[in-house]
Amino acid sequence: MALKFPSFGSAGSAPELMPQGRLAGPMPWVIAIMVALTVIAAAAGLALSNTARNAADALSGGVTVQVVEANPVERNRQAEAAAKALRVTPGVTTAEIVPQEEVERLIEPWLGARVGDGQIPVPALVDVRMREAVTGETLGALRRQVRQVAPAARVDAQSSWLKPVFGAIDSLQWLALALVALLGMALAAAVLLAVRTSLGTNRETIEIVHLLGGTDAQIARVFQRAVGFDAAGGGAVGLALGLVVVLFLGQRFGGLEAGLVQSGALGWIDWVLLALVPIAGLVLAMLTARITVLRALRKML
């Protein structure tokens, strides 16, 4: 940590109080690692948040009608009747029968290629879009209406299928938040240890400055500034490292072409938030340095 007396005079040519070059100690690199990990954890949290929000928006007005009937002719008849009845129901914007080929394609990964040969009965699906979010009351009304024309039909809100997924996403978001908080605490602890070591090493110089009339605030500012330089350098490196990892992971997940994963793409506000991570680290590091120095100096005369 390089200590300088910048704020005692007005010009910037004041000397280094300690003969150490910038980025010489481990401090900037520790900060760089902490910031990189924080950026990755924060990006994961933001992506999960986007995923949950987009999925909830997409599913909130969706209802699925399944007609579970072994006889294909009766199944298709009930599906047609249910769709027709739903189209004239108030609050319903669309009610479309999902083509049988599409349904078979969706379940083929689980049931194999024999799905299409008619040996395994596959339910007929009707995808219903409501004008507003589905409540228990509207779902009950839809069920009563559909059962009159299609007794083999089961009516479910689409959001209810993903409840466990939303629960898991919620937990992962909290985990990301906890990781960010823990990394912040680790950063503060690293700064605290470095400042304490530096205080011990420079005790003689600090005593001299005190005896010459230097105030605690002036001495704290010297440490604050030194830590600030380390945190700024380390934060910039950490942000760059973190962004490279986030972009790489984004590219890999984007390649999955899965709707739920792609809905987690980061928006511009998310990128701005990630760019603020090193600034938050800088403020935290400088604040920790200041408090540590002031508390230590209080024990000296």
Partner 1 sequence: MTDPSAGEIVQFDNVGLRYGTDREVLSDVSFTLFPGSFYFLTGASGAGKTSLLKLLYLAQRPSRGMIRMFGTDAITMPRQQLPLLRRRLGVVFQDFRLVPHLSAFDNVALPLRVAGVAERDLEKPVADMLEWVRLGERMHALPAQLSGGEQQRVAIARAVIGRPEMLIADEPTGNVDPDMAIKLLRLFEALNRMGTTVVVATHDVHLLKKVPDSLIMRLDKGRLSDPTGALRYPPRPHGGFGSRG
Name the site residues for partner 1 (rule: CB under 8 A).
Answer: 5, 8-11, 13-19, 204-205, 207-216, 218, 298, 301
What pairing do the DSSP bridges indicate for beta strands 153-157 and 92-97? unpaired
Smaller CB separation from partner 1, 13 or 251: 13
Residues with Cβ within 8 Å of 297's Cβ and at least 6 positions away in sequence, in order, are: 206, 210, 216, 219, 220
CB 209 within 8 A of CB 218: yes
Q: How far is the CB of 202 from partner 1 (least distance, A)?
A: 9
The H or E element that residue 95 is part of is strand 92-97
Q: How far is the CB of 290 from partner 1 (least distance, A)?
A: 15
What pairing do the DSSP bridges indicate for beta strands 62-67 and 124-130? antiparallel
CB 9 within 8 A of CB 219: no
Rounded CA separation 51/261 (Å): 7
Which of 59, 30, 32, 54 is CA-nearest to residue 270?
Answer: 54
Identify residue 37 by its one-letter amino acid code: L
Residue 126's beta-bridge partner residues? 65, 97
Smaller CB separation from partner 1, 75 or 221: 221
Q: How far is the CB of 17 from partner 1 (least distance, A)?
A: 7
Smaller CB separation from partner 1, 5 or 271: 5
Smaller CB separation from partner 1, 113 or 211: 211
Q: How far is the CB of 23 from partner 1 (least distance, A)?
A: 19
Q: Which stretches within the chain are classed as H helix?
A: 27-59, 72-87, 100-111, 136-149, 158-161, 163-201, 203-211, 216-254, 259-262, 268-275, 277-297
Smaller CB separation from partner 1, 123 or 214: 214
Q: How far is the CB of 225 from partner 1 (least distance, A)?
A: 14
- Check residue 113 and report its DSSP letter: G
Residue 124's beta-bridge partner residues? 67
Q: How far is the CB of 300 from partner 1 (least distance, A)?
A: 9
Smaller CB separation from partner 1, 125 or 229: 229
Smaller CB separation from partner 1, 17 or 34: 17
Residue 252's beta-bridge partner residues? none
Q: How far is the CB of 9 from partner 1 (least distance, A)?
A: 5
Which of 194, 195, 209 is CA-nearest to residue 5?
Answer: 209
Which of 48, 110, 107 is CA-nearest to residue 261?
Answer: 48
Q: How far is the CB of 284 from partner 1 (least distance, A)?
A: 26
